[in-house]
Structure 1
């Protein structure tokens, strides 16, 4: 049974309840003052506490999508799924199709009505990084009147560690776009849904780490080339946007600002403005102060020329730790960069807050991308 399985959660809750009842039932028998009863009391209390913590942890993981599997939880990655087909682009890069995913959209069983999610394996020619992605093709992609047209695309990133499945199972990016398309508030856009952790378990903060994973190259060069060769997607920066939450939001802003030739539009939902250094990241900068400064987005605004890009940032007056920095980022944005924001009165750093922001963010993003 998988980590996110409802059976695992139900089993954990049942065990916790059973141990609680057992503790109440056996406590009088274990009240004697000898080493056996003392050990019994310690054992029951410890088992009950552990089962309660496990239940709460599973509930939180299912709600927020921190880990997708047991291997993910314990820092071990599973091998990719069985390849069903593959295509080779003109530059020799390969994108492997691993299958399709169920989509909870009315008419989702028919691609021309609900679109389709394809799971693919992107293999980076320049970065030498391979990572899975979930590509949502909107209904128009399968309709006759759009057969000769290319579509804009948006990379959608989770936080760290995150799971890509949470982007359509919890945050409902495809479902939101489907609704906006029906309301004629957004143009059809291909969504490339991923987590930024493409060199697990390390949190690379979407950087080309000296003598380490070349994550920035993967997203700004390999991913765009591979996806554009496999699907009917434009190849120019004006055709590509990127949106993410938390760590993914920092990545979205940074890669748009550092690579306007790759992405014309970036959206950060509760994003940070510089990369943390901790046990999950390791040394990101190889001791280089210059590299550290260049990846600090507030420093970039003050000291480097502004790129011609569109940026959207979000925060909350109460509940978000990035509120003051977000205001500073907005204030420091210089032309030809263009800035917009979504500021809630209150909202924590969580899925519920981002679900409130995603519809407006997607509508805004759609207005700035060109087919």
Structure 2
């Protein structure tokens, strides 16, 4: 059973409850002042506490996506990071390394449930390689759609999130499948990735001076590689980018800075400028200009408004980015009132924290909104 599987969490909870009940039941027999009784009490308390901590930890991990697998938890996961591949331009830029079923009814049939493919993507321009999970909707496998190119959305986690959290924690494929079935969303290919392509460094989706060219990787390499490998449109009108937390900042920034690649950007609880701390290192190469150009508030005030549609989310109570989000919305609305081509929408909850539970409440509406602004070719 996987680390984030519901069965794993339920088993841990059941074991904790049984050990707790056994401790209560056996406690009178362990109340004697003998060495075996004392050792029995110590053992019972230790086992009960460990089982409770394990159950709580597994539930918290499933909810917030700290670790995606047992290998990730114990440090044996060896996912590829930054790779210098001088033959990438001439070789395959997308290589399928595994397939997974979508956890919906009829999961054994791709034409009913769709399919998730784990792929390795090589970036010839950025010289970065990273893995992704590509959700292909059921329509992708049906004969009547065989000559159709689908719209696509690049979906990003926060930092240091795992890609698996997008499927098991935030349930993007399952949500998209349900929305299409209900007629609220067009069939869309989801390219699910983590923004941490140079682990453990947090590059904030930037082309770091003398460092990882993460922005180039996502805005040029990923979109072009996916469009060539899958039946996905290759125009900006075919592509959106969406993410939570750090991934939300990345999504807004890449849509605003690269309207030639993305026409839609969605930020769930986003930040509006890149931090500089021990996880990021020097992202700006000491350049005030580079720092300003990656500040989304500054861009709205000083750069030409790009022809993109943006959606931001926050919560009036419980989310620290609420005031910044309202400032961002206000700046974008003023641009729109002057006839500028940037369009802004928002989803503001009454209450909600910076966590998976809040984002799961926002994702259905955001996917529906996003789908309405993408085009199929």
**What TM-score results when the alignment is normalised by the length of structure 1?**
0.85
Q: Does 1:167 align with 2:166?
A: yes
Partner SS state of residue 321, structure 1: coil
Match of 1:56 in 2: 56
* 1:269, distance to aligned residue in structure 2 (A): 0.7
Give a deviation string over 1:42-101, Cα, whole Å, max 9, x none: 999999877765543332112221112355346664256xxxxxxx99964421111211
Contact 1:266-1:311 within 8 A present in 2 as well: yes
Match of 1:362 in 2: 367
Structure-2 separation of matches of 1:67 and 1:187 = 31
Match of 2:83 in 1: none
Structure-1 separation of matches of 2:50 and 2:323 = 39
* Equivalent runs, 1:58-137 vs 2, <5 Å: 58-73=58-73, 77-79=77-79, 92-137=91-136
Contact 1:89-1:230 within 8 A present in 2 as well: no
Match of 1:350 in 2: 355
Assess, with a 3 A threshold, how the Cα gap between structure 1 residues 16 and 77 changes in structure 2: closer, same or farther.
same
Assess, with a 3 A threshold, how the Cα gap between structure 1 residues 278 and 58 changes in structure 2: closer, same or farther.
farther
Structure-1 separation of matches of 2:19 and 2:240 = 50
Structure-2 separation of matches of 1:124 and 1:53 = 42
Contact 2:243-2:268 within 8 A present in 1 as well: yes
Contact 1:89-1:226 within 8 A present in 2 as well: no
Give a deviation string over 1:270-317, Cα, whole Å, max 9, x none: 111111222222221121111111111111111111111110000111
CA RMSD of aligned residues (A): 3.1
Partner SS state of residue 350, structure 2: strand
* Equivalent runs, 1:311-326 vs 2, <5 Å: 311-326=310-325
Q: Does 1:304 align with 2:309?
A: no
Q: Give 5+ residue unaligned stretches, structure 1.
A: 32-36, 81-87
Structure-1 separation of matches of 2:283 and 2:361 = 33
Structure-1 separation of matches of 2:10 and 2:196 = 26
Give a deviation string over 1:191-232, Cα, whole Å, max 9, x none: 111111121121111111112211111101111111111101
Contact 1:196-1:205 within 8 A present in 2 as well: yes
Partner SS state of residue 336, structure 1: coil
Q: Larger deviation: 88-97 or 285-294? A: 88-97
* 1:18, distance to aligned residue in structure 2 (A): 6.0
* Equivalent runs, 1:1-371 vs 2, <5 Å: 3-4=3-4, 10=11, 53=53, 55-73=55-73, 77-79=77-79, 92-333=91-332, 334=335, 335-371=340-376
Match of 2:84 in 1: none
Assess, with a 3 A threshold, how the Cα gap between structure 1 residues 288 and 110 changes in structure 2: closer, same or farther.
same
Assess, with a 3 A threshold, how the Cα gap between structure 1 residues 272 and 142 changes in structure 2: closer, same or farther.
same
Q: Larger deviation: 309-318 or 184-193? A: 184-193
Contact 1:2-1:8 within 8 A present in 2 as well: no
Partner SS state of residue 372, structure 2: helix
Q: Larger deviation: 152-161 or 88-97? A: 88-97
Structure-2 separation of matches of 1:284 and 1:55 = 38
Give a deviation string over 1:251-276, Cα, whole Å, max 9, x none: 10011011111111000011111112
